[in-house]
A = this chain, B = another copy of it.
Amino acid sequence: MYFHDNKARPRLITRSLDPENQESPMHFIPFLLTIPNTLFFRRNHFPYPILTPDAFSLKISGSVNNPFTIPYTDFLKLPAKSQKVLIECSGNKRAFFKEKVFGEQWENGALSEGVWKGVPLKHLLKYTGIGSGVKEVVFRGRDHGIKNNENRNFERSLPINKAVQTDVMIAYEYNGKPLSHKHGFPFRVIVPGWYGMASVKWLTEIILIENNFSGPFQTEDYVYHYKDGTSEPVTENHVNSTIQQPLDKQILKSGTHWIKGIAWTGSGRISKVEISFDNGQTWDSVKYENAPAKHHTVSWTYPKEFETGQEYHITIRATDSEGNIQPAEPVWNRKGYGYNASMQITIKVE
């Protein structure tokens, strides 16, 4: 027998190359495991930064008692912890708004998860001390480019009370290996429960400030602008879910198929995942493949007998422990963030 490697492999889905934006092939990879680094979604605002020797240290400055700069090799010696955390772009599912919005047309795959290892920011701030008037912590990424006719770095802030939560960390490993260059090497902030814009890559400096940060990625982008003229910042991941299999408009053979997917939330943990075959009139519960826990996805399955010649509408909706539930319709906002309407697919059985 003549040997060929004929394995079919899922690939990233290219949304743009300059800067690089690519989706995870989320309908074809199990979330029960961690997402391999090569299939982790890529979302960039600027070209990949060049790492000069000074990139191998992290500076903490601003309103602190003891500003310091710590070299990469010393950083690795600090007490660290590992946690499985999902990161979801706030533009995930943007393509599904019926009233279209401009920007990268992400479908379901601007979401990945795996195990991050790093040092809680809280511990670092114990060394520096926190100035008494501090309101926010600014994270400066090394990536930069033209934004509003100025050369800007990617920078985001967190309120000080959020920044000192124990799960906010400065990560240097993903799935047991140093961060890859494309995903933030050497340092990346991880803010569990918040959309991905908060998890700044190529972190070069942490600056404590006594006012409100107003960089363009804080006050122009990543703001919900609603139809009624009000607005609010993008923060926590909305409760959400995705059907991974079958695919929308797929033709199936009759018999029993396992419907499967994931659910997640930024608030508390998933408390309920329901499935409907009658457009939401009646709901049944799905089976979890892993225990719902904070900040990572629940994989779920549901066996269903499909009959020849029929079409099926399958709707899924998740609820979290804070009482948030996926709406039937998304909340439209001008930049298309935070889509979390319940997902429906239609399949046909032949």
Contact = CB atoms under 8 A, between A and B. Distances in A.
A175 to B, nearest CB: 18
B12 A17 contact: no
Question: Which 6 A-B pairs rank lowest in CB-CB distance, beginning with the nearest?
Answer: A8-B20, A6-B48, A4-B181, A11-B11, A2-B51, A8-B17
A53 B2 CA distance: 7
Interface of A: 1-2, 4-6, 8-20, 22, 25, 27-28, 47-48, 50-53, 55-56, 100-103, 105, 181-182, 185, 247-251, 346-348
A14 B13 contact: yes
Given A48-B4, A52-B1, A101 B249 contact: yes
B14 A103 contact: no
Contact of A11 (B12, B55, B347): B12
Contacts of A11: 11-14, 22
A12 B12 CA distance: 8
Nearest to A47: B6
Contacts of A25: 14
B249 A103 contact: yes
B6 A17 contact: no
Contacts of A347: 102
Nearest to A181: B4
Contacts of A16: 247
A195 to B, nearest CB: 19
Contact of A346 (B6, B27, B100): B100
A333 to B, nearest CB: 15
B18 A50 contact: no
In this complex, the member of A1, A12, A28, A105 whose beta carbon has the largest number of chain B beta carbons within 10 angstroms is A12
Nearest to A350: B102
A251 B220 CA distance: 15
B51 A249 contact: no
